[in-house]
Structure 1
Amino acid sequence: MEPQPALPKPITPFARAMRNAGYLLGGSGIGAIFGFLTTIFAARQLGLRDYGILLLIHSFTGALATGTRLQTWQPMLQFGTALSEALARTRLQTLLRHCLLLDGVGALAAVAIGIPVSIFCSHLLGLAGYERATAVYLTCALFMNTGATIGVMRITDRYKMAVVADNLSAFIRFGGAVLGFWLHWNLTVFLTFWYFSIVAAFLADGVLLWRLTKLTPSLAGFRLTGGPWRSQEIGFWKLLLPTSIDQALISLASRIDILIIGSLLGGAGAALYRVATQVSDALMQPAVFLSPALYPEFVRLREQRDWASLRKMTWRICRLLSVFSAPVLVIIYFAGSTILAAMLGKHIPHTRDLLLWLTVASIIGLWSIPLEPLLISLGRAKTVLHGRVWFLLLSLPLFYVLTRTYSVEGAAIVVFIRSAAIFTTRLVPFLMMSETKLP
């Protein structure tokens, strides 16, 4: 009798999370390179002031899109994982329709709110004289909500697909920046290319969603008009609203910061702060991609009620992130200012402290990466939300005062304080839960 071949060793949740994070990192690494090159070409062609205006218009649009966006991928993942495995086609497809509808409603709300604000409040945003360009660009918010598609990709473990749209957008912006530098384009043409990059990414996500409905048994035969639009999953809104507000605040915080700096220091100040943030954040990207890869694993372990594995995996990732952070600080200390000067095309004195404050804030934010998905997966979404809301609101007056007094370095100090306070609101609940059983 011939010996039976050994069965492949099942992949652990930690290994699967690392693998998926690797897919996201590999794809986004290309996007990050395109992003750096785009900044180099665009900043040189437009100059610091006009490049700052470009960033302000894009940040304002992104702030509105984020502020009105519901994180529909969360219910798609939290409820859809079990529905997909159980082949509950009707319930899963209803859930998908509901999430797609909410994506569309959020996009329409962003445009409806943003256009009058851009016209009547342009002087407060540092965009006086650019009202028409801002209002037109705002309509690209119609193409910024793809949460339902992201949720389907994570349910079906198609992380390789998830980077396609982002890379396409980054590639188009890079191509526009190179052409703009070569042909001496103005701000209007640059805005046009950025607009088109967003539309292209949206269309790519739409094609991927259509493809996944053909490949996934529980989504076979899906039609937008083929059934009910309202999901009956218990806890749908209880999960969706806190996580949406929390994610909106994450994105809004950085965009509001840029808008405040733009109103106080002008386009040049906004550009310096934005590119400095880009430098500090870029070095942290390998770890950032753990977060979307962790959510499905935490959901699976929650469904299995394996609290010991959840706790072990969380601590393991925290240790990994701590080791990763040390060389990043060394790079920023010795080479951060040089990298910043290369991107801006000019040397800005006394930028080391600015970069160090922003980098330490990013590192502290990294330590929240395993804690937020864990708390949300265990039904503690309100805890995550409350910690961010209060410290963001409390930090805004301080951000205004220190920016006005100490310029962009004062802004970076407030970002550090805010990040440390928010991390504490994640760590304490986790430590309190570490000796208890899974809820």
Structure 2
Amino acid sequence: MAQNRTPVGDAQPDPLDQLRHSDGLHRILRNLRLLLGGRAANAPMALLHTSLAIRLLGPRDFGIVVMLYAFARSVADLVDFQSWQTVLHYGIRPLSDRDVPVFQRIVRFSLCLDILGGLAGGAVGLLVATFASGLLGWPSDIRTVGQIYCVAILFMASATPMGVLRVLNRFDLISVQGVTATAVRLVGTLALWVLHGGLYSMIAVWIVAECCASAVFLTQAWRVLAARNLTKGLLSHFNDTLRDVFLNHIGRDFPGIWRFAISTNLNSTLAQAFSHVGTLVVGSMLGPADAGYYRIANQVATGIAKPATLVQTTLYPEMARLWRDRATTRLYRLATQIALLAGGAGCILLVLAYCLGDVLLRLMIGPRGPEALGVMLWLLVAEVITIWGMPLEPLLITMRRAGAAIAARSINLLFFLPTLALMIDWYGLGGIGPATAFSTLALIVLQFCLVYQLRNRSGAYSGSAS
């Protein structure tokens, strides 16, 4: 491992110097405010785009667009190594020690994972779209379009910019990716209204949105690195990183890094079973129109809960810093504070959704809005349950117990998918919400038991560094 150290430049103050003595909960709330600023612009644009798109295309064609996106997103999640977590967990110490070469080595390794994951995802997506599109419920006439949509997977499986912005505490820029994608979709949809575009044009707009979002996000991360004099030599040694990967030098110099990267990938893949895979199951069993309605209900539910769920985005860096300092009492106290704060906010949002959800869905999809209301409320209940248990999975991953997090999600997935299929078969679209809510509750109970067992075993409170 490189031992020479390069001082971080004076263009910007070192973020860890600013953070070392400040309160973790205060930083989380401050960063949450920055994220909400971006989401404040994103939410109305997303709702407007969805409303325009379903009226332009109709329920069936909009459902096809949603199914293609869910397929590409699911494949990307399958191959995505969640490299932002690798940057955060293995990059925060060398950055704190001003060991720039080692920090850059971690960033290059993360980029390498993104590239390999994107290429693998594109290949897997192309094979599935070619030989198994019927199993996904795709109409036969969109197979070629589905193959073309796999281009978007190359840009979806990129998480290194997220890790860079998190470790450097630039949460004000993290929402850029989502806002960019939504803005491109909205502008494209408005153009299609004027030009009388159809299904294939809308699919092209969604592909372009992913490409633009990835490019803007990568540019923002590069600018932040450059402002702190962290780009010099970053890419010039990329060939060395390829040798690091294929000869496993990186594994010897950073013990456990491969296991951590693979574990977070598996955990993320299992987590997506509650979102994009759900869309695929609905589409294959009920058809494109119901897949579209499910997507809208899920989008509204997650959008309403977003102010509370965004807390998790700011939580990982704080937990990583406390774990680095072995301040485990403060770590558990922070987790409890966040659960109470975010859970209370989630309950308030659920009440608001119950009062306003019908009006919102009518505005978005017209007379069929009430049909999606029940699904939306059940999905929001699932979101609120997730919010109450929000700190549990970050605790397991931060404390290098990603295997336990994977075990919990694996057990839960074995329960969720059969339950989802059975409930859809019995109750149609209305069965999706209860299946999701009860499966989410089971997951949170499992994660709580694992964290409680880990806390008792390690004697964290008695051995705290705080």
TM band (smaller chain): over 0.9
TM-score, length-scaled by structure 2: 0.88
For residues 349-364 of structure 1, what are the structure 2 equivalents within 5 Å? 349-364=370-385
Unaligned 5+ segments in structure 2 are 1-17, 245-249
- Describe the shift of the 1:55–1:350 C-alpha distance in structure 2 as closer, same or farther (beyond 3 A): closer
Structure 1 position 428, deviation (Å): 1.6
Residue identity over aligned pairs, in percent, reads 28
1:115 alignment partner, one of 102, 122, 126: 126
For residues 258-273 of structure 1, what are the structure 2 equivalents within 5 Å? 258-273=279-294
1:325 alignment partner, one of 346, 365, 372: 346
What SS does structure 1 have at the residue aligned with 2:400?
coil
> C-alpha distance in 1, partners of 2:273/2:150?
16
Aligned equivalent of 2:5: none
What SS does structure 1 have at the residue aligned with 2:98?
coil
> C-alpha distance in 2, partners of 1:371/1:155?
21
What SS does structure 1 have at the residue aligned with 2:421?
helix
Structure 1 position 34, deviation (Å): 1.1
- Describe the shift of the 1:216–1:349 C-alpha distance in structure 2 as closer, same or farther (beyond 3 A): closer
Residues 100-129 of structure 1 show CA distances to partners (whole Å, capped at 9, x for unaligned) of 111011111111111121122222111122
Aligned equivalent of 1:228: 240
Of residues 275-284 and 160-169 in structure 1, the stretch that sits farther from structure 2 once superposed is 160-169
Structure 1 position 322, deviation (Å): 2.5
Structure 1 position 407, deviation (Å): 0.6
- Describe the shift of the 1:118–1:319 C-alpha distance in structure 2 as closer, same or farther (beyond 3 A): same
2:87 alignment partner, one of 64, 76, 90: 76
> C-alpha distance in 2, partners of 1:218/1:272?
46
What SS does structure 1 have at the residue aligned with 2:22?
coil
- Describe the shift of the 1:8–1:425 C-alpha distance in structure 2 as closer, same or farther (beyond 3 A): closer
Aligned equivalent of 1:277: 298
User: Would you say 1:130 and 2:151 are equivalent positions?
Assistant: no
Structure 1 position 349, deviation (Å): 4.3
2:98 alignment partner, one of 87, 93, 108: 87
Contact kept? 1:146, 1:205, Cα under 8 Å: no
Aligned equivalent of 1:163: 175
> C-alpha distance in 2, partners of 1:8/1:397?
46
- Describe the shift of the 1:349–1:88 C-alpha distance in structure 2 as closer, same or farther (beyond 3 A): closer
Of residues 221-230 and 43-52 in structure 1, the stretch that sits farther from structure 2 once superposed is 221-230
Aligned equivalent of 2:429: 408
What SS does structure 2 have at the residue aligned with 1:130?
helix
- Describe the shift of the 1:307–1:8 C-alpha distance in structure 2 as closer, same or farther (beyond 3 A): closer
> C-alpha distance in 1, partners of 2:312/2:20?
25
- Describe the shift of the 1:401–1:373 C-alpha distance in structure 2 as closer, same or farther (beyond 3 A): same
Residues 335-392 of structure 1 show CA distances to partners (whole Å, capped at 9, x for unaligned) of 2222112111233445443222211111111122222112211111111111111211
TM-score, length-scaled by structure 1: 0.94
> C-alpha distance in 1, partners of 2:354/2:264?
35
What SS does structure 2 have at the residue aligned with 1:70?
coil
Question: Residue type of the partner of 1:169?
Answer: A
- Describe the shift of the 1:362–1:301 C-alpha distance in structure 2 as closer, same or farther (beyond 3 A): same
> C-alpha distance in 2, partners of 1:76/1:111?
24
For residues 155-304 of structure 1, what are the structure 2 equivalents within 5 Å? 155-225=167-237, 228-229=240-241, 230=244, 231=250, 232-304=253-325
- Describe the shift of the 1:404–1:257 C-alpha distance in structure 2 as closer, same or farther (beyond 3 A): same
> C-alpha distance in 2, partners of 1:210/1:351?
42
Aligned equivalent of 1:154: 166
- Describe the shift of the 1:397–1:209 C-alpha distance in structure 2 as closer, same or farther (beyond 3 A): same
Aligned equivalent of 2:48: 37
- Describe the shift of the 1:188–1:14 C-alpha distance in structure 2 as closer, same or farther (beyond 3 A): same
What SS does structure 2 have at the residue aligned with 1:283?
helix
Question: Residue type of the partner of 2:165?
Answer: M
For residues 12-31 of structure 1, what are the structure 2 equivalents within 5 Å? 12-31=23-42
User: Would you say 1:337 and 2:358 are equivalent positions?
Assistant: yes
Question: Residue type of the partner of 2:111?
Answer: L
Of residues 424-433 and 48-57 in structure 1, the stretch that sits farther from structure 2 once superposed is 424-433
Aligned equivalent of 1:3: none
Structure 1 position 240, deviation (Å): 1.3
1:426 alignment partner, one of 426, 447, 450: 447
Contact kept? 2:322, 2:328, Cα under 8 Å: yes
Q: How many residues align?
A: 433
Unaligned 5+ segments in structure 1 are 1-6
Aligned equivalent of 2:77: 66
Question: Residue type of the partner of 1:291?
Answer: Q
> C-alpha distance in 2, partners of 1:98/1:109?
16
CA RMSD of the aligned region, Å? 2.0
What SS does structure 1 have at the residue aligned with 2:292?
helix
> C-alpha distance in 1, partners of 2:384/2:439?
13
